[in-house]
Amino acid sequence: MNLKTLLLGSAAAFAVVSSAQAADLYVAEPVDYVKVCDAFGVGYWYIPGTDTCLKINGYVRFELRAHDAAVVDAANNHTGNWNYYTKGYVAFTAKSMTDYGPLTGFMAFQSAFDPASSSSNNVTNLDEAYLSLGPLLAGKTGSTYDYDGGYTYDGTDLDSDAAGQQLRLSWAMNGMGLMFGIEDPTVRWGSNATNDIPNLIAAITASNGPWDFKFSAGYADLVTGGGWGAQAAASVKLDQIAPGDAFRWKVAYAEDAYSYAGGSSAGTGSYWSALASFKHFFSPTVYGAWSGDYLNDPVGDKWQATAQLTWLPVHNFQVGVEGGDTNTYGTDSWWGRIRLQRDFGG
């Protein structure tokens, strides 16, 4: 046997063995890669194997807080006139199109470690959860009556801000909107609610280019009797001053329904409140915000002034400082904070 014959025989043997092994190999299924969904805006992607688009967003926040009143935590530990505060927030939005309009499911969770909490240092809750199909929304979310607060951190304290369980119908066309809601009264009124009927809310909205407007009215059945409130609010973009600048105002009046004007104590009589807030960008990465609000109730006057400065060193990260003063029936209290926050998900 010469060398040529030996090489040809070996090659044929290898080919037979390779063919047999190849026949026994597992054939992998095609990979279903995640695809971007642009039907509902930025940040959505298709859940593999479905026509549902999902978006995940949230933030992680750390604050160093100072205040004029000493803090006592849930373990009765005296922490002085300052404390740390850490919070995490995550939200999930699932959307798909149907013959009846967009189908949406939304859930948001938040957890905070707060030594100033009177009940527990660790506070975890379901912040929002609702479903909507076309004009119908059902679940826990911000009240149909409410409008955003000031541009300073966490808005303002002397305005209506109640999130609760509700059923809502909404229609929008050509920049105009109409909303009707029936809401759980216990969140807004606590033990002052009779629970005989839900809160009844109606609102009209409008928007056109740089501005938007909302007028809302609500009725509540309380232990002290029936009460009502009305609120008007608007925001306008002021990019002609600097890109990102904006101004917001809000006024409210309530009769025997204190929360609709921002009151926090039960009682009858007239309540009214007003808010103004302005945001200005000194540069694309540095902006300031100022808010002032006022509340008049049957006991007397309350007012609050807040100023804030924020630096955006990199995308989705902010470093800010804020300070403010609250005057409650002639007694002043002040606070300040330094905030670091990393946002994600758009």
State the fold for domain 135-314.
Answer: Porin (2.40.160)
- Predicted TM-score (pTM) of the model is 0.84
- pLDDT score of 339 more than 80: yes
Over the stretch 213-251, which tens digit does the pLDDT of each residue have? 999 999 999 998 999 999 999 999 999 999 999 999 999
Residue 76: other Cβ atoms inside 10 A: 6
pLDDT at 26: 53
Mean pLDDT on 322-345: 93
Residue 296 tokens, joined: 């008049």
Residue 287 tokens, joined: 């902006």
Mean pLDDT on 294-314: 95
Q: Are 255 and 263 in contact (CB under 8 A)?
A: no
- pLDDT score of 4 more than 50: no
- pLDDT score of 113 more than 70: yes
CA 8/CA 13 separation, integer angstroms: 9
What element of type H or E holds 137?
strand 136-142
* CA dihedral sign of residues 163, 292, 234, 254: positive
Sequence-distant (6+) residues with CB within 8 A of 24 are none
Over the stretch 175-194, which tens digit does the pLDDT of each residue have? 999 999 999 999 899 889 99
Residue 128 tokens, joined: 């929002």
Least confident of 6-15, 209-218, 243-252: 6-15
pLDDT at 154: 81
306-322 residues labelled b (16+ CB within 10 A) or e (exposed): bebebebeeeeebebeb
Q: Are 220 and 256 in contact (CB under 8 A)?
A: no
199-227 residues labelled b (16+ CB within 10 A) or e (exposed): bbbbbebeeeeeebbbebbbbbbbebeeb
Domains of the chain, by residue range, sit at 30-132, 135-314
**Closest-CA residue to 79 (of 92, 93, 65, 91):** 65
CA 176/CA 174 separation, integer angstroms: 6
Confidence of residue 30 (pLDDT cuts 50, 70, 90): low
DSSP code for 190: G
Mean pLDDT on 9-36: 55
**Backbone torsions φ then ψ of 81, nearest 5 degrees:** -95, 25
Least confident of 72-76, 254-258, 265-269, 330-334: 72-76
Residue 133: other Cβ atoms inside 10 A: 14
pLDDT at 82: 83
Q: Are 229 and 222 in contact (CB under 8 A)?
A: no
pLDDT at 200: 97
Mean pLDDT estimate for the chain: 87
Over the stretch 53-73, which tens digit does the pLDDT of each residue have? 999 999 999 999 988 865 555
